[in-house]
Amino acid sequence: MEKTTKKIAGVTGTLMLLSMGANAAVAFADDGISPDLQPAADEQVTGAEGSVVAKEKVAGAFSYTQSKVSSVADIVRAMGAAQYLCGGQASEVGEANAADWVIAVGGQVESPYAMTVAELQQDPDVQKTLIGCSCSGNPADGGASVNAMVRGVSVNVLMKKAAVSPEANTAVFISADGYEVALPVSYLKSHQCPIVFDVNGSSIDEVMGGTNQLWLGSTSARYFARNIVSITFETRDEAPAAPGTPEAGDTYANLPNIGVDFGGTIG
């Protein structure tokens, strides 16, 4: 039975700006204002050298939603930007048949196994989940932030099938082209991290290209490994830093317009 859950992404949710207003102070020279544009007496403040400061009356409202699903076109555009803004993966695998694509799960596990994407699609634990994705280098218009309704199987489910060793602290996702993402096992256990094969009701090949992709809610797109061929569990002297932490260097992840609001260098 397919399960449906919602992952509302931190501040990654799509922002819809209807209108926004605030008191604005604008200085004019007395002889440059048309009589029709002179502010009312109760709105005038005399400034330096006789200038007049007028308070504009601005009415409006600001609203947002974190549950709006982005269009496929917006997802493609945003994820394309992520390839340049936050090191997302851009490679393709040519004419590979997604259904026959094999993902091996091994390393420090009791029951290593391999499964095709077709088998993954038939898994009883397939979930449909709303997941937000953004980039730590999000441009001023917030264009590298999207919400997508994805379908896939949580890495937690795959971990249980393999019976991962309690000592293992690192999961390494390796793509066909050698792209590698290492994540702490503790992070995977506490987050919704599916291996996705469907985005907004279309196969991932039609939307993103490729056969499968790791999605992490409220997390920078640079972790979204594509065309995964193996997931290996191992014990390292020190587990990799969790996404969104200072140690990982992406603490600004999922903050639209961060470059405008705070300035500085975004990693």
Extents of the domains making up the chain: 3-10+67-261, 25-55
163 or 266, greater pLDDT: 163
pTM of the model: 0.67
Task: Give the start-end residues of each E strand in the chain.
Answer: 3-6, 25-28, 44-46, 52-55, 102-107, 113-116, 127-134, 146-154, 170-175, 180-184, 194-199, 202-203, 213-214, 219-220, 228-234
Nearest to 109 by CA among 153, 174, 158: 158
**DSSP at 30:** G
pLDDT at residue number 97: 80
Lowest mean pLDDT among 1-15, 71-85, 110-124, 147-161: 1-15
Phi and psi (nearest 5°) for 176? -60, -30
User: Are the CB atoms for 222 and 82 separated by under 8 Å?
Assistant: yes
Q: For the domain bounded by 3-10+67-261, which CATH number is listed?
A: 3.90.420.10
Structure confidence by residue, pLDDT tens digits, 78-103? 766 555 445 555 556 655 688 899 99
As a whole number of angstroms, the distance between CA 226 and CA 260 comes to: 30
67 or 128, greater pLDDT: 128
Residue count of the chain: 267
User: Are the CB atoms for 105 and 231 separated by under 8 Å?
Assistant: yes
